[in-house]
Copies of this chain bind each other. A is one copy, B any other.
Amino acid sequence: MGVTTATDEATETVSASVVGGSGFTGGELLRLIAGHPNFELTQATSRQYSGKSIGSIHPNFRGSELRFTEPDDLDSVDVLFAATPHGVTMEHIDAFEDAADTVVDLSADFRLATEGQYDDWYDGHSCPEKLEKAEYALPEVNRENLPGADIIASGGCNATATILGLKPLADTGVLDDAHVVVDVKVGSSEGGAGGGEASSHAERSGVVRPYAPTGHRHEAEIEQWLGLSVSFTCHAVDMVRGASATCHVFPDGPVSKRDLWTAYREAYEDEPFMRLVAGGSGSYRYPEPKAVAGTNYGDVGFELDAANKRVVVFSAIDNMMKGSAGQAVHAANVALGFEETAGLEFTGLHPVGSP
């Protein structure tokens, strides 16, 4: 990790590549790296679109000269970002590590700590010996372990929204572990490029569609970081980007609004991408995905339901950004010693529709 010592200056650049650049999160990585002051984008691979310009797939790159190359011939770079389907990185991790000092993976392959968790929640792991050295990307919960990490695993989008929403409250120790309900609403980009009948515009427009109503794999990550088991249910709704987690929790004892503000302020007041949004005036009084679309912000807010001894916590992110590619770049910034917000300064649009 020699590069980190050289990054004292804001103008220092390292080379970066994207494996799996034609998918949605791969496209976001390309966008973020191309606009990053410290990264030089050297390669974007795509087996399916090898030879085509990246702008033919991602129209925001119209005019770019860069073309996709075959994933079997990797450039040597400082940082390799992998935006491949689950299972690919664990198969190619040796090749990725040969090509790059730092590997940042956006799949689930290196998110969990133990082989046993992969056996429980996925279909086993082909490279369990590297799980230990992999670091979870989310700086808000794992910042101290990122500098110098060789393998960084960007968190799942739904898990990220949930962890960011509940971590400050869980850390206070008041949560009733048996009744933590997380009701998530997500956009269609979460399904990735391609899609089948259920993802077609005619079938998916206007939906409020339960999917993975129980047993969602992201529960594993959430439990890992919150120390709580959560009752988790996802719904597809009519937006493209965004994940919104509404967490209904029942503290073991009395909790005041002031307690909540204190817990969340302490947790997030120094975080560059976390914003507290709870009440106020106007149309936007709580976190909602529209208000963070295209950005790396995580908006968190809450409300007290005294009658039911409940706290409702709202957490909203852009699933492609804070929930994936943005989190990956943020973690890489921390790992390599760059300014944390470098390349992630976009503040979002208003108005914006179904971003």
Contacts and interface: CB of A to CB of B under 8 A. Distances in A.
Contact of A188 (B202, B213, B283, B286): B202
A347 B35 contact: yes
A258 interface: no
A312 B215 CA distance: 12
Given A24-B351, A303-B214, A349-B294, A208 B275 contact: no
A352 B27 contact: no
A250 B351 contact: no
Interface stretch (A96-104, A111-119, A179-187): A179-187
Interface in A182-223: 183, 185, 187-189, 191, 193-195, 197-210, 213-215
Contact of A210 (B238, B294, B314, B351): B314
Interface stretch (A8-16, A53-61, A130-138): A53-61
B31 A288 contact: no
Nearest to A31: B347
A240 interface: yes
A229 interface: yes
B179 A52 contact: no
A103 to B, nearest CB: 24
Contacts of A282: 52, 56-57
Interface stretch (A39-47, A139-147, A241-249): A241-249
Task: Please indicate which of the listed interface residues A60, A230, A316 has the most CB atoms of chain B within 10 Å of its own CB.
Answer: A60
Contacts of A204: 201
A303 B181 contact: no
Contacts of A347: 31, 34-35, 60-61
A66 B173 CA distance: 37
A239 interface: yes
B197 A194 contact: yes
A62 B299 contact: yes
Nearest to A193: B197
A241 B185 contact: no
A353 B241 contact: yes
Nearest to A310: B231
B27 A350 contact: yes
8 contacts: A189-B202, A201-B201, A201-B240, A205-B238, A206-B242, A206-B352, A241-B353, A353-B354
